[in-house]
């Protein structure tokens, strides 16, 4: 991934303006709804986060009482940014190697990661993740929603993005990787008033347009499970 776009990844830290995240109540509620509840997580499970970035989700796992978790990212600049409390759970290294060895996981999470790969690489990644899951294990993905106009700013706002995904193509990818689809849903952001306004506008657009998108949210979540 990094070798294919060295000029862009070489300046990624300054582009993203890395900062140690502060896990507030709002962020906790979002992770509760979008990942913890949606993927039926539990503190006793073993977690892997691929492309953990600055470590916000790692800090969340610690706050939920999870003790067995690992976050991996390829950028060494993140080593001093990940919250100190979970720094021992962070590894800067090759994700492929992390998916080839060691004990299996109950949940594997990849937030804003899959779009950085080609479709073929994304398939390889999901197959590798599938093979590292315990029985009943699940994968949680978050990607920009290329089926919706609102998602294009996220998809094309980063020159390291190499693939675009829609609800339909996520299901196709999961099937090719031998994973079952538990759910595909949109990320809900903003205040209650804004979410109500969004819902009303999207309802009207769905009525007015000939081919509206299945999901209007700018970003998509997918929860996939290992087939028995």
pLDDT in tens, 124-179: 999 999 999 999 999 999 999 999 999 999 999 999 999 999 999 999 999 999 99
Confidence label for 97 from pLDDT (cuts 50, 70 and 90) = confident
Confidence label for 2 from pLDDT (cuts 50, 70 and 90) = very low
Dist CA 79 CA 31 (whole Å): 23
DSSP string, the chain: -TTTSHHHHTTHHHHHT-------HHHHHHHIIIIITTTT--TTS-EEEES-TTSHHHHHHHHTT--SEEEEES-GGGGGTS-GGGGGGEEES-HHHHTTSSS-EEEEEEES-GGGS-HHHHHHHHHHHHHTEEEEEEEEEEEEBTTSGGGHHHHSS-TT----B-HHHHHHHHHHTTEEEEEEEEPP-S-HHHHHHHHHHHHHHHHH-SS--S--SSEEEEEEEE--
Domains of the chain by start residue, with CATH: 6-226 (3.40.50.150)
Helical packing angle, 167-176 and 119-131, nearest 10°: 50
Kindly state the average pLDDT of the residues 9-23: 86
**pTM for this entry:** 0.92
Confidence label for 7 from pLDDT (cuts 50, 70 and 90) = low
pLDDT per residue over 54-87, tens digit each? 999 999 999 999 999 999 998 898 999 999 999 9
Instruction: Work out the mean pLDDT of the chain and round it to a whole number.
Output: 92
User: What pLDDT is stored for residue 8 in this prediction?
Assistant: 82
User: What pLDDT is stored for residue 153 in this prediction?
Assistant: 94
Which range (7-21, 30-44, 126-140, 181-195) has the least confidence? 7-21
In the block, residue with structure tokens 């306004």 = 197
User: What pLDDT is stored for residue 6 in this prediction?
Assistant: 57
Kindly state the average pLDDT of the residues 12-23: 87
Kindly state the average pLDDT of the residues 101-122: 94
Dist CA 185 CA 18 (whole Å): 28
């Amino acid at each position: 991934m990094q070798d294919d776009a060295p000029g862009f990844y070489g300046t990624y830290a300054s582009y993203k303006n890395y900062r140690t995240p502060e896990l507030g109540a709002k962020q906790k509620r979002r992770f509760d709804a979008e990942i913890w509840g949606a993927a039926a997580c539990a503190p006793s499970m073993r977690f892997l986060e691929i492309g953990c970035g600055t470590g916000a989700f790692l800090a969340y796992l610690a706050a939920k009482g999870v003790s067995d978790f690992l976050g991996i990212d390829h950028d060494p600049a993140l080593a001093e940014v990940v919250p100190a409390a979970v720094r021992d759970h962070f590894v800067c290294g090759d994700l492929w190697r992390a998916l080839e060895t060691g004990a299996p996981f109950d949940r594997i999470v990849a937030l804003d990661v899959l779009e950085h790969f080609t479709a073929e690489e994304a398939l390889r990644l999901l197959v590798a993740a599938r093979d590292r899951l315990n029985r009943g294990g699940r994968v949680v993905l978050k990607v920009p929603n290329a089926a919706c106009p609102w998602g294009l700013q996220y998809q094309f706002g980063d020159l390291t993005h190499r693939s675009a995904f829609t609800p339909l193509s996520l299901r196709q990818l999961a099937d090719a990787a031998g994973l079952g689809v538990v759910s595909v849903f949109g990320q809900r952001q903003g205040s209650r008033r804004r979410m109500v306004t969004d819902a009303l506008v999207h309802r009207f657009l769905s009525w007015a347009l000939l081919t509206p998108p299945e999901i209007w949210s700018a970003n998509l979540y997918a929860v996939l499970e290992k087939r028995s």
